[in-house]
Structure formats: C-alpha cells, structure tokens
Structure 1
Amino acid sequence: MPTVESARRDVVTVGVKMVTEGLELEDHSHHKAELLLGLSGVFRCEVEGGIWIVPPQSALWVPGGMVHRIAVFGNIDSYAAFFQPGADAKLPTRCCTLAVTPLLRELIVRSAQFPADQEVAAIESGVAALLLHEVSTAPLGNFHLPMPTDPRLRSIFQDMMTNPADRGTLETWAKRAGFSVRSLERVIAAETGMSFGRWRQQLSITLSVQWLAGGASVKQVAGDLGYENVSSFITMFRKALGVSPARFMAERTARH
C-alpha cells in the first residue's frame, strides 16, 4: 500500500485527531510539500529562521525537503495534505501560514476522502486542481516570529521567549548582552527585518494566540506577557490583528 510520500498523485490528504496536553515531533522533513490545516487545537512549527504558530482555522505550508519541528497543544482536529513536487509552479517556496477560506477548507476535507491506493478518478483530479489553485492564491497569515542566527541576539530572544513578562527596554537587553544600543538595533534589523519593539510585539501576538487557543483566559495571557492591565493587552492585540482576543478566538471556534 502506498504511503503519502510514495503515492503517485498530485495531492494526498490524511486526517489527524488526538487529545493531548502537548506533543512534539522532532526534526524531520518530507520529500513532498505539506499543508497542515488545524480545525481545533494549535500547532507550533520551528524551522531555521523562524517560528510559525497555527491557530484554529489556519494552515501551515512547509516546502518539501525543509527540516522542521512541530509541537501540538490541546484537542487536535487537523488535516495534512501532501503535494507532489512540481504539481504547480505557483505553490509557495517558503514556509508560511495561510489564511483558510471556506472553499480551501472544504477542498482539503474532501481530498482526505480519496484513497491513496487507487487510481485517480476524474473527481479527484478536479478537486486536486482546484486545491492547488486555492493554495497558490491564498493570502499569507501573520503568525510568524523570525529568529536570528547571530548567537548573542538569539540568546536575547530565547530569554525573552522564556520569560515574556520581562519588559526590559532595548537599553536593558543591550547591556545584558554586551551590545551598544546602536549595534543591537542594527543586528535586530538585519537579522529579522524588524525593530526591537516590533519583534517583541510579534512575540506577544505569537504567544498569546498559542495560549488562547490552548484555553488560557485573556486576563491570564495579559499577565503572563507582563502587561500592567488587560486593556493594554487587548489594545495591542486589536491593533495587530484587527479584532479583540475574545473575538479572534470566538470566530475560530464558531467555524469548527
């Protein structure tokens, strides 16, 4: 019986359901590109150069051959679609999160109903073609946290991720790591394409989405991120994503 890697078809999709308080898949790669759709629970994917968070009703794209590590949190209901190399030249070439339209979601769910060990029928070819088009034109998501390669900067960022409630200033972190403020600013911009403040905000968004999807309250998340009050956290979240944290999660829960 062919596996998802050996099946000779443009798209092979499998469904995955599990109940877990936390599970991590060590570094691995696939010959085929993978699209991971989460309907419930949350995924975190780590690759060289960044961390991607996949909240409910979002999807993660991992190009073929890219080494990655995935952690899962909560009650997982998901689908993994694997794409044959060369199936469509317009498919993403980098790891990214994708906004999932209702059509894209239903195409992924439908494709999981096709057995990988049988000849490709006409309806399967049609679904696969439309799925390839939807993936290649899907808007990119914004749950990416770029990670640097510079050892000293990476150490700073790892400390901030470990203790996000530490609201130390740029000057504070520069002194701790032996940087001048200007040098630290230059390294952060060169390595991440962001300012220090923008990276820390993206860290807050990334962690808050992960924690909220895992069942934490807005008040708890605000406190764990070091905000003095809940309203400040909500204001930051709304400015970044366009909706309040409660609305953000309600919309994703309602679609499941």
Structure 2
Amino acid sequence: MRIVDLTGVKNLLDSEHAQSLSWINDAAEPVVALGRLYPSGFRVPLHSHNKTQLWCARRGVVLVSTTDGRWMIPPGHGLIIPAGLEHSTEMISEVEMHSIYVDPSVAGASGPKVVEITGLGKSLMEELVLVDVRPLSVRRQRLIMELLLDEISLLPERPLGLPFPEDERLASLCRRFLKTPAANAGIDDWARDLGMSRRSFTRLFRSETGVSFVTWRQQACLFASLPKLAAGEPVTNVALDAGYENIAAFTTMFRRMLGSSPSTYLKARSA
C-alpha cells in the first residue's frame, strides 16, 4: 500500500507509474491499495491490470476511457474496471485518488460500472492506503481486507457514466461545460462554436456520445452539482449555479436521474 504525489509531474507516463503498474501486477496479496494525487490535465496512457480495479475519486473529477466507452467519475464515486480491460485516464481537475486492486478470482467484474462509495467503503480504503503511515497488525489488516471485499460487492451502482466524445473540438466544449454548467445551454450555440449546422452538430454529438445533446446536458449538470451538494452547499444555490431558474426544475431533473430528491439522496449518503 502506498501514496504517490504526482501533482508536480506533467509527463504522460513517468517511471513511477510504470513501477506502480509492475508492483500491482506482481503483488501476491488478494487486495492491494494505492493512493495518488494528480494534477489537473494529467493523462495516463492506455494500460491494463491483471486485477479487478476500483478507481475511486475522493476529490476532483476524472475521465476514464476504455474500449467499451468513457466514464466521468465525480467525487465520492468510483469505477469498477475488470481485470485485463485496457483503459486510460485524464484528470479534468486536480484529483485525489484511492484505488483498490483485487485478484479476479476473489472479485471479478463482467464490465465497467460506476458505483457510489459508501462511508464504510471510504473508511476501509483509507485504512489500507495509509497503512504505511498508520501501521496495522496483520490480523487487523486481513479483517479490513475481508470486510472491504464484502462492501465492494454491495456498492450501489449509479447512472453517472457520463458519455464523453473522442472528437477533440467537441470534447473541449464538454470540458468547458463541466466547469460552468448551464441547464439552458443551446444546441445552436454549440453548433456555431464548431462552425457547423444544427443538423450536422446533433448528428455528430449523438454519434460521439450515444445520447442526444439535451440528455447529455442534463446528465452533465447533475454530475457537476454532486460535489457541491456533498460539500454542503444549499440546494437552491447549486440549482441556480447550474443554470436552473428554480429549485423545482432542478429537483425534478435530479429525481428523474437518481430516483430521489437532492435532500433525500444526500441523507441516504450520510446514513
């Protein structure tokens, strides 16, 4: 278990990452934990592990790309990545990451999925990541590993895998939108920024993301709102910052996407 600070590194793939990859693949333990601090814009090229990975964003936003799709992971959530699946990552902001690697014979995965990290799961991961700082007895470490494996199997899946385009011009607009979301953003404005007709833009957007612009915009607004809600900002302020004219419209969108109101969702997270 180790913590690596890469906030001062801008290389695509440095020796530390290569060493960590080798360390992860060669580890004999059934559960391996790694903590990292990444700078905004840091990219990790395509790679894979021989273990099932739970990539958890404790702080910041990360984009994970695989041959199956692209997922945006907000704070308090994670992406389960099956063993052997090639993936790359891009830090949309400065990111604090805790990652758990599990032998696939112990905990396999049929495909990538976004999960919500429970309070218990967060605490257990932190104990393993910080074991070099806060040493654990062998017995306690094994108990934590066993409980974490059980908790990972129970983590609730969330529809937060925000599709992300490969087209760099369109991806640039999407990144900008995530920094300053606006629920009333119009197709015509985006089409004009790309020098395209409305029809060409809508065709390009759906082919790149698999969803309509309106659907993506709603998901992105929700995605950008979760960290603020988790930080304790009033729902009204978050709704207005996201471009909604009133809290009712924001609550309706939130309930449609996650099945509950913002307040109910946050209470459930706290519980």
TM norm. shorter chain > 0.5: yes
Residue 240 of structure 2 is matched in structure 1 by 223
Identity of aligned residues (%): 29
1:161-182 per-position Cα deviation (integer Å, ceiling 9, x unaligned):
2332372322332233222222
Matched ranges for 1:1-256 at <5 A: 5=24, 6-13=26-33, 26-28=42-44, 31=49, 32-36=51-55, 42-48=59-65, 49-55=70-76, 58-63=77-82, 66-69=87-90, 80-84=99-103, 86-87=104-105, 90-94=108-112, 96-99=113-116, 124=142, 135=152, 140-165=157-182, 167-252=184-269, 254-255=270-271
Go from structure 1 to structure 2 and tell me whether the alpha carbon gap of 1:67 and 1:14 turns closer, same or farther (over 3 Å shift): closer
Structure 2: distance between partners of 1:181 and 1:80:
41
Count of aligned pairs: 239
TM-score by length of 2: 0.66
Query: 1:146 is paired with a residue of what secondary structure?
Result: coil
Structure 2: distance between partners of 1:105 and 1:151:
34
Go from structure 1 to structure 2 and tell me whether the alpha carbon gap of 1:133 and 1:159 turns closer, same or farther (over 3 Å shift): same
* Residue pair 1:144, 1:206 contacting (<8 A) in 2 also: no
- Which has the larger strand fraction? 1
Go from structure 1 to structure 2 and tell me whether the alpha carbon gap of 1:69 and 1:153 turns closer, same or farther (over 3 Å shift): closer
TM-score by length of 1: 0.69
* Residue pair 2:121, 2:151 contacting (<8 A) in 1 also: yes
Go from structure 1 to structure 2 and tell me whether the alpha carbon gap of 1:69 and 1:34 turns closer, same or farther (over 3 Å shift): farther
* Residue pair 2:159, 2:257 contacting (<8 A) in 1 also: no
Moved more, 215-224 or 103-112: 103-112
Deviation at 1:225, TM superposition (A): 1.0
Structure 2: distance between partners of 1:23 and 1:160:
20
1:108-150 per-position Cα deviation (integer Å, ceiling 9, x unaligned):
68978999xxxx98x95x9868866775686532122111012
Go from structure 1 to structure 2 and tell me whether the alpha carbon gap of 1:168 and 1:112 turns closer, same or farther (over 3 Å shift): closer
Structure 2: distance between partners of 1:114 and 1:185:
50
5+ residue gaps in structure 1? Answer: none
* Residue pair 1:35, 1:81 contacting (<8 A) in 2 also: yes
CA RMSD of the aligned region, Å?
4.3
* Residue pair 1:54, 1:60 contacting (<8 A) in 2 also: no
Query: 2:166 is paired with a residue of what secondary structure?
Result: coil
Go from structure 1 to structure 2 and tell me whether the alpha carbon gap of 1:131 and 1:176 turns closer, same or farther (over 3 Å shift): same
* Residue pair 2:53, 2:80 contacting (<8 A) in 1 also: yes
Go from structure 1 to structure 2 and tell me whether the alpha carbon gap of 1:37 and 1:46 turns closer, same or farther (over 3 Å shift): closer
1:54-78 per-position Cα deviation (integer Å, ceiling 9, x unaligned):
43xx4432456633245567xx8x9
1:25-73 per-position Cα deviation (integer Å, ceiling 9, x unaligned):
93346744432457xx645222233312243xx4432456633245567
- Which structure has more RCO (C-alpha within 8 Å, separation ≥ 6)? 1
